[in-house]
């Protein structure tokens, strides 16, 4: 049962509220809390000059704590909205909670009060594509759709504008889900594999965080799972509502991919070869979205979206063909499973650019499972030696040799890949690692790759 937002408005008025993190996504939250009459304090590691003019304009309306000790000032608050990347067991938050402060997040409060039907998507790979496709399906059927969470725009400040007949689609990360005590009406788990183990204490904590997307559902809610993923398949036993499955390896009653065709309840929807996006992993993303949308979207509408969806930026995105060589930006691939899925989707062996920030996950699958799709491996970033060791082990243990080229910088990696390529080749930036060793995020990394390629 969704709660009446008037409860929140009455509660929050004149309360001392802290917002941790003054990034672009939290500015609407701060302004909304001020509009509701809260006394807002904001906290950030950066200095005021680094936060932009919009924050500086708010300086006379909120109390701001900045610098390396910014979290030392959380005492005396009634409510703290934490940023998703902040662990709930951070000592500063633990101390504040012990003193009676309510710790929450924008997404948790949004789901409590949102009147519309909510769809949540999580997983290790495919979240953004599945979320985007699901939003497009519902829009094609004529619904007013709000897309948010990890993508789109913050939604909490729009909660009063979202009606019962609207639809909300949310991409939810493990960091957002870790502390959630409310779940969306329809939950999708695309797949799970080791990821973000630099932030989580282990794989089990990562899995447990993902489970919160469905653990708080009711008996009439829906959970959509990947039948082919051993971890997600087991979630069915803990579900409180209806469970549906999709598969790319076997024929199921719900949704499946067989002989090049996507089926929903045994009805043919579309052939993968006719879609603009390629690869079995994209077939799986669409199957999950079809299942979620089936009560609201016709097969014809599904087919139309499938035939016209061009893909999401930074996800196996063709940047340019130059002198007969195709250059693909797959910067989103921050794990081996994502990189392997993209390599399999391309139609020839790839000159691969890989490496980046170390998330403490096993990178050996890039070599041991990816070798058959790789022509040359150009390695860069903090993990380049870890990846080189994986290819060396492949040669020593299996007798399989993949030419490896070590780059001193990201720019160097792109130019090495260009030099190695001949007409008909593919160069793919599909790093299997996060970007934080050299870039602010994967988008900045992908944009830099595209800029270098377009400057050839």
From CA 300, how far away is CA 311, in angstroms rounded? 20
- Whether 123 has a binding-site annotation, put simply, is yes
From CA 299, how far away is CA 145, in angstroms rounded? 19
Q: 10 Å Cβ neighbour count for 305? A: 25
| Helix or strand holding residue 444 (H, E) | helix 442-454
Looking at residue 15, its pLDDT comes to: 97
Looking at residue 432, its pLDDT comes to: 96
Q: What is the pLDDT of residues 393-429, one digit of tens each?
A: 999 999 999 999 999 999 999 999 999 999 999 999 9
Residue 276, pLDDT > 90, answer no
Residue 126 · residue 284 · CB < 8 Å: yes
Comparison of pLDDT for 134 and 55, the residue scoring more: 134
Looking at residue 194, its pLDDT comes to: 65
Looking at residue 142, its pLDDT comes to: 98
Confidence of residue 317 (pLDDT cuts 50, 70, 90): confident
Domains annotated for the chain, with CATH where assigned, are: 5-104 (3.40.50.720), 108-308 (3.40.1190.10), 317-455 (3.90.190.20)
Residue 60, pLDDT > 90, answer no
From CA 433, how far away is CA 264, in angstroms rounded? 34
Cβ burial, residue 104 (10 Å; 0-12/13-18/19+): middle
- Whether 126 has a binding-site annotation, put simply, is yes
Q: What is the edge-to-edge ordering of all strands in the sheet holding 117-122? A: 145-149, 167-171, 117-122, 186-189, 222-226, 242-247, 255-258, 261-264, 267-271
Model pTM score: 0.79
pLDDT, mean of residues 371-390: 97
- Whether 125 has a binding-site annotation, put simply, is yes
Choice among 40-54, 188-202, 253-267 with the minimum mean pLDDT? 188-202
- Whether 127 has a binding-site annotation, put simply, is yes
pLDDT, mean of residues 333-347: 90
Please list, in sequence order, all residues whose beta carbon lies within 8 angstroms of the beta carbon of residue 23, skipping any fewer than 6 positions away. 44, 83
Residue 326, pLDDT > 90, answer yes
Q: What is the pLDDT of residues 354-379, one digit of tens each?
A: 999 998 889 999 999 999 999 999 99
Q: Running DSSP on this structure, what letter comes out for residue 403?
A: -
From CA 126, how far away is CA 167, in angstroms rounded? 20
**Number of helical H runs and strand E runs in the chain:** 16, 20
Task: Name the one residue in this structure whose structure tokens are 């890039």.
Answer: 366
Residue 196, pLDDT > 80, answer no
Residue 44 · residue 68 · CB < 8 Å: no
Confidence of residue 197 (pLDDT cuts 50, 70, 90): low
Residue 437 · residue 409 · CB < 8 Å: no
From CA 281, how far away is CA 312, in angstroms rounded? 14
Percent of the chain residues topping a pLDDT of 70: 98
What is the DSSP annotation of 357-383?
Answer: B--S---HHHHHTTGGGEEEEEE-STT
Q: What is the pLDDT of residues 146-165, one digit of tens each?
A: 999 988 788 999 999 999 99
Residue 55, pLDDT > 90, answer no
Q: What is the edge-to-edge ordering of all strands in the sheet holding 404-406? A: 317-322, 325-329, 426-429, 350-354, 374-379, 404-406
Looking at residue 51, its pLDDT comes to: 81
pLDDT, mean of residues 192-205: 74
């Amino acid at each position: 049962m969704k709660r009446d937002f008037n409860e929140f408005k009455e509660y929050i008025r004149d309360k001392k509220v802290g917002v941790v993190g003054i990034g672009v996504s939290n500015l609407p939250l701060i302004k909304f809390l001020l509009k509701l009459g809260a006394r807002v304090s904001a906290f950030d590691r950066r200095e005021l000059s680094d936060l932009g003019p919009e924050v500086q304009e708010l300086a006379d309306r909120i109390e701001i704590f900045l610098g390396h000790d910014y979290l030392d000032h959380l005492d005396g608050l009634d409510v703290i909205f934490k940023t998703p990347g902040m662990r709930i067991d951070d000592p500063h938050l633990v101390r504040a909670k012990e003193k009676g402060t309510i710790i929450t997040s924008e997404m948790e409060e949004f789901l409590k009060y949102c009147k519309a039907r909510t769809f949540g998507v999580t997983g290790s790979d495919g979240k953004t594509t599945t979320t985007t496709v699901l939003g497009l399906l519902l829009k094609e059927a004529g619904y007013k759709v709000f897309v948010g969470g990890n993508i789109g725009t913050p939604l909490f400040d729009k909660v009063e504008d979202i009606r019962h007949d609207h639809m909300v689609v949310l991409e939810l990360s493990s960091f957002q889900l870790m502390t959630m005590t409310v779940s969306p009406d329809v939950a999708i788990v695309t797949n799970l594999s080791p990821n973000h183990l630099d932030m989580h204490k282990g794989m089990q904590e990562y899995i447990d965080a993902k489970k919160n997307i469905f653990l708080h559902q009711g008996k009439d809610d829906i959970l959509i799972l990947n039948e082919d993923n051993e971890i997600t398949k087991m979630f069915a036993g803990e579900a409180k509502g209806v469970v549906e499955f999709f598969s790319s390896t076997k024929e199921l009653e719900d949704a499946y991919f067989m002989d090049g065709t996507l089926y929903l309840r045994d009805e043919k929807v579309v052939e993968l070869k006719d879609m603009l996006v390629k690869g079995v992993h994209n077939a799986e993303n669409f199957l999950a979205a079809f299942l979620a949308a089936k009560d609201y979207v016709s097969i014809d509408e599904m087919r139309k979206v499938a035939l016209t969806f061009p893909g999401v930026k930074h996800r196996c995105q063709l940047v340019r063909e130059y002198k007969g060589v195709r250059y693909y930006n797959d910067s989103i691939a921050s794990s081996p499973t994502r990189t392997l899925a993209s390599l399999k989707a391309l139609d020839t062996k790839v000159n691969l650019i890989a490496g980046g920030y170390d998330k403490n996950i096993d990178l050996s699958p890039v070599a041991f499972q990816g070798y058959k799709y790789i022509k040359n491996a150009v390695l860069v970033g903090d993990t380049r030696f870890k990846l080189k060791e994986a290819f060396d082990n492949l040669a020593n243990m299996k007798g399989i040799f993949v030419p490896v080229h070590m780059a001193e910088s990201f720019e160097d990696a792109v130019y090495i890949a260009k030099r190695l390529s001949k007409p008909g080749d593919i160069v793919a930036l599909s790093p299997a690692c996060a970007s934080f060793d050299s870039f602010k995020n994967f988008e900045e990394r992908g944009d830099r790759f595209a800029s270098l390629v377009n400057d050839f």
